[in-house]
Amino acid sequence: MAKHLCLHCDRRFEVPEAMEMAEITCPHCGHRTRLIPLTPGAGRGLKLPALEAPTGLTLADVSATAADLIANVEKVIVGKREAVVLTVATLLAEGHLLLEDVPGVAKTMLARALAVSAGCTFKRIQCTPDLQPSDVLGQPVLDPKTGRTEFSFGPLFAQLVLVDEINRASPRTQAAMLEAMGERTVTDGRITYDLERPFMVLATQNPIEQQGTYQLPEAQLDRFLIRLSLGYPAPADEKRMCERFQLRHPIETLTPVTAADRITQCQAAVRAVPIPEAVTDAVLQLVLATRRHAALLLGASPRGSLGLLRMAQALAVIRGQTQVTLDLVRELAPFVITHRLLPQRHLPPTTAAAAMAEILGGPIAAPAA
């Protein structure tokens, strides 16, 4: 008879040796428990063997995975390589993406193609003014058979979530997504649920038709790592698209080129990309310039500084670079920073982009100490 330890009550009991690899009901507490064999003298001081450190990916591995993702998404999204590359970079940088564009330019297809290519679970939330927070997060549901209340998970519990026409949701429903986007958790009462990794929100909004919409507040905009606009395809690309889509939509035959676990490993590797101190100083100087610009009521937040550096790390890996450069920062700043800026009350919304261009037009390197 072999001795074992219950994981629930921490008491010893014996079972036949033939059952050593099974699960059994503890005779002391009645819980089902996995059998852990005891060595002589073991008890509450039970020592389990040390776990081996996980093997991390190299930057070359991440770059190859990103290239596979980009190529696969481009089977569906024609002629928008820059947007596809930045979308994949956002995923690797653990950020969220806001797509602001007119209808019919493949915003939804971009989200679906990315989810399928990355092997991630996908859910879509169609926003309307009557959409409630519980329709997004989920809610407690009473089971009539058991009399117990269990939480019914909403569509936000997926690895890649498309929030279509987010500005048509009420401010209350928009606010319900803040915790998930900022902390990757959802709280119901006294219970907090962790969201599965990777987790990315890809939201869309129409910048033209504003009737019946609710403008996104600064706190919501600040949680989007970048904002993109796809725009209309070039005539040659649109012709290719028409020919390619003639028989059936490419999304119907798209298959994964990687897995969700691989994406999380890539995200961890991206964090390790070196950032020279001079580049960090330059980013801080750029952000400080937005806070002091006379045309801006609100400059970029510290989340913007961190986001710009993280996006630069991701794009550096995708391009096969070994560290973040100032050129990458300049290239990404309009996508990462502009939507976080708030013009003075009497100035038009286009002021934010103009101010960003003005700041980038001058030197952004930090002054010598």
Looking at residue 207, its pLDDT comes to 78
Q: Which domains does the chain have, with CATH numbers?
A: 2-37 (no CATH), 56-258 (3.40.50.300), 273-369 (1.10.8.80)
In eight-state DSSP terms, residue 211 is: T
CA triplet 116, 122, 123: central angle to 5 degrees? 150
Looking at residue 242, its pLDDT comes to 86
User: Which residues lie below 8 Å from residue 92, measured CB to CB, with a gap of 6+?
Assistant: 62, 66, 263, 266, 267, 270, 314, 317, 318
Looking at residue 368, its pLDDT comes to 38
For residue 361 the two structure tokens come to 């037009």
Closest CA to 176 of 219, 211, 213, 215: 219
Regarding beta strands 97-100 and 226-228, do their DSSP bridges make them parallel or antiparallel, or are they unpaired? Answer: parallel
For residue 215 the two structure tokens come to 């403008």
End-to-end Cα distance, the chain: 73
What residue ranges in the chain does DSSP mark as E strands?
2-5, 12-15, 23-25, 32-34, 36-37, 97-100, 122-126, 138-142, 149-153, 160-164, 185-188, 191-194, 200-205, 226-228, 296-298, 342-343
Q: Is the pTM of this model over 0.85?
A: no
Looking at residue 251, its pLDDT comes to 87
- Chain centroid to CA 12: 45
Looking at residue 51, its pLDDT comes to 44
Looking at residue 147, its pLDDT comes to 81
Looking at residue 12, its pLDDT comes to 66
pLDDT tens digit at each of 369 positions of the chain? 455 666 556 666 666 655 544 566 776 666 666 554 544 444 444 444 444 444 578 999 999 999 999 999 999 998 899 999 999 999 999 999 999 988 888 899 999 999 999 999 999 999 999 999 999 999 888 888 888 888 889 999 999 999 999 999 999 999 999 999 999 999 888 889 999 999 999 999 987 766 667 888 888 999 999 999 988 889 998 888 888 877 778 888 899 999 999 999 999 999 999 999 999 999 999 999 999 999 999 999 999 999 999 999 999 999 999 999 999 999 999 999 999 999 998 888 888 899 999 998 865 554 333
Looking at residue 33, its pLDDT comes to 61
